[in-house]
Amino acid sequence: MKKILIVTVIVTIAGFITASDSFLQPKLQLHKTESQKQNSESDNPHNLSPELKKALNCKSCHACEYPTPGNPCLLDCPRGSMISVYHSPKEGPEIVLINEMSENYGGVVFSHRLHAEMSEMTTGCEGCHHYNTTGPILSCKGCHENKRMRENVAIPDLKAAYHRQCLTCHKQWSYENGCNTQCHLQKGSDIDVRREQAINKIKGRSHPLLPEPTKMIWETNYEEGKIVTFFHDEHFQVFKIKCNSCHKNDNCIKCHEKKENVDFTKPVKIKKTFDDHHMPCVNCHDGNSCKKCHREGEMSPFNHGKSTGWALSGFHSRLGCADCHGNSMPYKRLDRNCTSCHKNFVKGTFNHSRTGLILSEAHLEAECENCHINKDFSKAPQCASCHDDKSFPKDLPGKRNR
């Protein structure tokens, strides 16, 4: 009864505040946890940040053309695409105690932070918290019913939700070696002691940093362009690409689970299709020709000056690729005109000394176009519009400062 009252209050408040948006409120209560219900209109999924408003449209959440309060026709989860706020593993709890289904077991001590650190490299938070809207991160029991026999069987029950998260990676666990030793506490009089031990074992631990490969070279079966070189370090450090944009589908058992006769010093041979091999690259390099990667010999590291003829120095060398080239792939080619990017470079606001030349007082008065014909800054400046007998770079309109 209390809950219904709170829900009604929320609906009324939201209705007053956002008259146009309020009609979508009721059904959304389904996906909220207890704590969220106490918050009022701040949880309204239509109160979106400006960036998210741009990224989402009605169809991102609603399946039908005209959602109504009675039938908001919300899309099924996962809605990973909707997640806009990313959290670091440190923000989450270090340990989570799972006790919902402890009739058979004494509960589970789950090393949440360790797992969050591991998944940061692959699926990120949404790998486990796969259904999350713009609000705070939901726990499993926020959506998954603790009942096997139920009306809506499309969403797994809580027992299955927990187990699926664990067993997708820990598939090789047995009762004696895994389930009962690593996860489920066994019932008994000393359960509190054992729980304490389990907690102490995890407390303060963090996942060791993974050694990052620098350069990888593959020999392919193709006759032309046999060698493919991949600079792993460059993609991470120079191009600033996040781990999980490539490693999204990696499974932790690649490193962690041991099965007999499997040598874990060698990578597991996984049969990949043509697509499996190429997708990680094609995701970004869609417009590039095959020859970009498939070469006759080893490739040299990326050099902006060599590849484009425009060596980056000073401020430019500190920028990320996307700062100039934008986020769309492949990167768009930029011209060398300063004002293409620096729209504010006009007379009066531009400090010419940054280019390495301090203009003399007389030249400070001149318009940019007087020397830089047609405002084309990529070409050498001309003195001819004012001086008949002077030419750059023999004569300078000031002093060099470097």
Partner 1 sequence: MKNLDRRSFLKVAAAGVSASTLGASQVKGAEIKLDENRIGVLVDTAVCVGCRLCEWACRTAHHLPTDALETYADDSVFKEFRRPDKTALTVVNEFENEKNPLLPIHVKTQCMHCEKPACVSACIVGALTKNQDGSVVWDGDKCIGCRYCMVACQFQIPTYDYDVSIDPQIRKCDFCEDRRKEGLLPACVNICPNEALIFGKRCDVLKIAKERIKRKPEVYVNHIYGENEIGGTSWMYIASKDFDKLKMATLGSSPAPGISEAIQHGIFAYFVPPVTLYTLLGTFMWVLKRRKEKSPEEIGDTKKEVIEEKKDEKGEEL
Question: Given the rule CB under 8 A, which residues bind partner 1?
Answer: 76, 148-149, 153-154, 156-157, 159-160, 163-164, 167-168, 171-172, 174-176, 251, 253-254, 257, 259, 262, 268-271, 276
Residue 190 in tokens: 């000393």
- Unique residue bearing structure tokens 């005209």: 66
For partner 1, give the closer residue by CB, 146 or 385. 146
For partner 1, give the closer residue by CB, 49 or 249. 249
What are the CB-based long-range contacts (under 8 Å, 24+) for 283-290? Answer: 283/245, 283/246, 283/329, 284/241, 284/329, 284/330, 285/329, 285/330, 286/329, 286/330, 287/329, 287/330, 288/330, 290/225
Tell me how far apart the alpha carbons of residues 119 and 113 are, in angstroms, rounded to a whole number.
Answer: 10
**24 CA to centre of own chain:** 29
Residue type (1 letter), 192: D
Closest CA to 385 of 377, 398, 374: 374
Q: How far is the CB of 345 from partner 1 (least distance, A)?
A: 48
Phi, psi of 62 (to 5 degrees): -105, 135
Q: How far is the CB of 15 from partner 1 (least distance, A)?
A: 33
Q: How far is the CB of 247 from partner 1 (least distance, A)?
A: 14
Q: How far is the CB of 369 from partner 1 (least distance, A)?
A: 56
**Is 244:280 a contact under the CB 8 Å cutoff?**
no
For partner 1, give the closer residue by CB, 279 or 364. 279
Task: Count CB-CB contacts under 10 A for residue 36.
Answer: 15
Q: Which residues contact 389 (CB under 8 A, 6 or more apart)?
A: none
Q: How far is the CB of 175 from partner 1 (least distance, A)?
A: 5
For partner 1, give the closer residue by CB, 258 or 318. 258
For partner 1, give the closer residue by CB, 148 or 306. 148
For partner 1, give the closer residue by CB, 64 or 386. 64
Q: Is the torsion defined by CA of 349, 355, 361, 365 positive or negative?
A: negative
**Is 213:232 a contact under the CB 8 Å cutoff?**
yes
C-alpha Rg value of the chain to the nearest Å: 30
For partner 1, give the closer residue by CB, 14 or 161. 161
Residue type (1 letter), 204: G
For partner 1, give the closer residue by CB, 54 or 269. 269
Q: Looking only at Cα atoms, what is the longest distance across the chain?
A: 101
Whole-Å CA distances, 364 to 346, 351, 358: 12, 10, 9
For partner 1, give the closer residue by CB, 151 or 361. 151
Q: How far is the CB of 64 from partner 1 (least distance, A)?
A: 16
Tell me how far apart the alpha carbons of residues 337 and 354 are, in angstroms, rounded to a whole number.
Answer: 16
For partner 1, give the closer residue by CB, 258 or 332. 258
Q: How far is the CB of 98 from partner 1 (least distance, A)?
A: 14
Q: What would the DSSP string read from start to end of 308-344?
A: HS----GGGGGS-HHHHH-SSSSPPP--S-HHHH-TT
For partner 1, give the closer residue by CB, 159 or 285. 159
Q: How far is the CB of 170 from partner 1 (least distance, A)?
A: 9
Tell me how far apart the alpha carbons of residues 90 and 113 are, in angstroms, rounded to a whole number.
Answer: 7
